[in-house]
Amino acid sequence: MKQLIYSIIIFLAIGLSSCEYDNYEPPKSELNGRILFEGKPVGIRQGISVLQLTQPGFETVTPINVNVKQDGTFSSMLFDGDYKLVQVAGNGPWEAASTTIDVSVNGSTSIDVQVRPYFSINNVSFVVENNVVKSSCLLVNNVAGRQLERISLILGKTTIVDDPTKLVPNPTDPLSTKVGTGLNLLQPILLSQNLAVSPLTTTPFLYARIAVKVVGVPELLYSNVFPVKS
């Protein structure tokens, strides 16, 4: 009899615990924002870890990675409270900053994070003519001592376009990439890619983006995305 009562107590305890787990309320407050330089969003590779949040006051403070999209916007669902937002050192194509931003989340909260990218991609334009996608931009060096490795016109088959997932045309158009050595940054940089080559001819959707690689920096800077075939 005692064994039966003991088993019933354990069963009820497990049931109550399960109910508490099922009734767990997820975070409902949204923190959203943009990574900016001089008021303009900075384009990056989607999914890289460049921002983290911590919430002081707990014995174990585990950083929360902030999901940053390729256009420099980000959002996270959080509980209301006070947080600290920091940049992950060395993970972005900009000068490392040790600045901590205090963020008070209460319902929907917006914040902008200012960075200084090594280069800026300005006056970007795209056009498709005679089965060739052409781009033009002005490149500005924002940090003395940083050297340009290359600038490329890259294409992808989805709206998420970056260097690791780009389509590699065969043959590669020699006009789609320019090395940084000797490149005149005072003039518009013109890039182009012939679309009449494999696999571009058989890809139903194509999107283009300008990518900038800085010497010694793993992550690239990117322009906005242009729909070539959509």
Do 119-229 and 29-114 fall under one CATH topology?
yes
Q: Maximum CA pair distance of the chain? A: 91
Cis peptide before 63 (omega within 30 of 0): no
pLDDT at residue 58 greater than cutoff 90: no
Q: Which CATH class is domain 119-229?
A: mainly beta
> Looking at per-residue confidence, does 137 or 56 come out higher?
137
d(CA 140, CA 63): 34
* pTM for the model: 0.86
The rounded mean pLDDT for the chain is 90
pLDDT in tens, 207-217: 999 999 999 99
Residue 33 exposure: Cα atoms within 13 Å on the Cβ side: 18
CA torsion, ordered 43, 45, 46, 49, to nearest 10 deg: -100
Domain boundaries, the chain: 29-114, 119-229
Encoded tokens for 202:
């058989």
Encoded tokens for 173:
């158009």
Report, as an integer, the average pLDDT of 53-76: 87
Angle, alpha carbons 76-73-189 (nearest 5°): 155
pLDDT in tens, 184-195: 999 999 999 999
Q: Which CATH class is domain 29-114?
A: mainly beta
Q: Using pLDDT thresholds of 50, 70 and 90, give the confidence band for residue 90.
A: confident
